[in-house]
Structure 1
């Protein structure tokens, strides 16, 4: 019996609870119908090829089925048995592999996935998720806050740690490395870790609040594991990983190590736009967020609902998915970052809710009166929002916020 493209299209098929269901947006190549293109997507991403195939009696059919077509949107169902449990690279090699370059489509975008329990349960998921707010910082009624020292690379270790100290004293919860900063000569990893955590301890003593540090451990996988161990030995609660550039397999291995230390993972999404910026091609941020949750990040950058400097995206929808029930898997704390300042906080929190992490860089360090004043302005804006006050009411009570509003108003930067 032969296998042909037509075997991968069945518009009467009803996906089962054990299928991984993927939604794609496609633009068929010239001269090809949507049905023909859909069958080729299902074929190439499972067990078909361009030529008719002969199979024997012992063949196990792991073919995907293109089961729905709605304009340029198609649904493809994959049997769970096609995938190795706990192996995200293998899964993505199927659902976002060769099909991204096949000539049957001019463009193809993986828009969304519905993950069956059999696949979800094969991954660890987050250790903390949004509970980091309470378990690490002892708060559950406000967003936690973070900042990256600016300039984001080039500061000496001493200056980097001092910026963190000033921000902590002003009310920020988390010092965060930039995605570009790892172990450069001007600011070595080991020195930065030691000096920053020492000033963190001082800031905790002075403020009476818990503080922490998102140090970037991104590197080859073995180096990341060594750095995770080093952070744990010095009393760090978090590590940060550039999850796209480090790779899904590397993230998965780091997740196993951080659980041994009871540490949280802050996920930066640098390079995500290479996959998700073009609306007609690639992999959506929604899917990247889903993968990140399965693999176990606790905090993930998801955008600013169009209020910051980065391109607009479905921040609210992504955040809702990350908080949704997924067979009991722990949720993920969304991180809003990229061109934010205190004047944007009311609109941001109206869109995202308060169960988030809010990160400001230039919106703190660009304050006319310096980093500490910028941190005070941020914290005042957040605390005032939680208390139901308008930002102008809070500015009338907090001079640092008034100065920030005079400088930036409520305008979105570009």
Structure 2
């Protein structure tokens, strides 16, 4: 019955006219009646949640007071306990030294007939192996382990006040699948923060390098302070905000967990930021030189023309570059319009940029001049280069 995931109780009786003193006497010479098997069936969504956890590199572990046979049967039904996994009882756990437990902890998926002390040992052993441990529980006996875990999660409906006070978070619906959904949401938020930082740093490096390279080449400043202020306040801010609400990738739960020791700028992100900053800066400087030195499109004031072209290319190239930040996959694969807020931010910033350059009162404030059709075509071509370069980079990375 235990192998069928039933919790088993034996039932017996004794006929007596008096109540003997002492439990031992009361429970002796009983007449066995039979066994009662009870089951609290796992929720259907729990099986899928366990599957998603394993695919995401998260190992679910069952810690229970049930008999080991019952615990293994339930764990096997959920997908927690598989053929290569091990199960252990609290008695066996007590006989193990700390060193033995720390060495073997990763091989166990089921811990049965455990005490509160055992639960704390299990949590600390998993942490010593470098794992980030989340612990769920509802009873008073779970409180020490909830406190010791990196993330203690108490049950909001069935949980005791002691467990809730010891936990870091309270699960209001007592559903394990909700924890998995929270992990997915958290991963999406982390990725969006990373995207926004990536975009802002690469854009700002582009601005710095544009000015720095011009100084080294003995050229006038390609951008004035008021123009840089515009780029930072308008061109950078709206796309960064829209990247913060980017929908999570469909495959985000197929990624492995990020180690706490791994910084946000690991896996070559610093190189990407610098390279993309160099690309944006070189495009803005190229536009300045074409206007200032070669008077592209014709103008009586080549310095202002160069600064206008540089300002336009720097702003528009960053707007195009923000599309690169949305995913490690091709923008054409995830869909340009899958984040409508980002598209709207691109349109709004582009209209504002055109207004500043073409509307004379604003042009006077920002020290720019209106551009003709030939010059606008140059601006669009140069500004679109980051899309081409990064798409090629993504194509190479995704083939390996």
Rg larger for: 2
* Greater fraction helix: 2
Same fold (TM > 0.5): no
TM-score (norm 2): 0.23
TM-score (norm 1): 0.23
